[in-house]
Amino acid sequence: MARRHYLVESIQTGLSARFEEGGSWAEVVASCAKAGTPALRTLQRWCQSFAEQALRWLGEVQQTLATQDSRSPWLDPQGEAARARSPAGALLQSSVYLLAWAKTQWSELAEYGWNDRLRLLWLWGANWGMGRLV
């Protein structure tokens, strides 16, 4: 079976379209068109894997923020976390706060921005032995 490899940005685009924007599969495919559209089945596998891992990863992100950045807006029980549609959407949203904290810790992340959230999750998760995310 032939395998193609996609940039993290392409994977993040698909995950964001599905879990943050609540897009249909047709909308997810359309959002990824600029990034070299992967097959629908590939997008579905990414989303399924991410959704299966999201709750465990989200717990670790929240614990890290509670320990390292206890004033993070993500931890406000009436805030953004309470409005997340799903654990997968919540994980993507929480990654913004993880990134903000991480940038205060590691100067090499200074250039990381919104489109690097998934890359940061992978790097952070690898350091914590979290295993595969997508």
Give start and end residues of each alpha helix (H) in 33-86: 40-68
pLDDT of amino acid 14: 93
pLDDT of amino acid 48: 97
In terms of Cβ atoms closer than 10 Å to its own Cβ (0-12, 13-18, 19+), residue 54 is buried
Q: What amino acid occupies position 15?
A: L
pLDDT of amino acid 1: 42
Separation CA 13–CA 15 (nearest Å)? 6
CA distances from 71 to 75, 88, 91, 98, 99 (A): 7, 23, 18, 12, 14
pTM for the full model? 0.89
Contacts of 131 (CB under 8 A, 6+ apart): 53, 125
101: phi then psi, degrees, rounded to nearest 5: -65, -45
Q: Which residues of the chain have pLDDT under 70?
A: 1-5, 35-36
**Under 8 Å between Cβ of 31 and 14:** yes
pLDDT of amino acid 87: 94
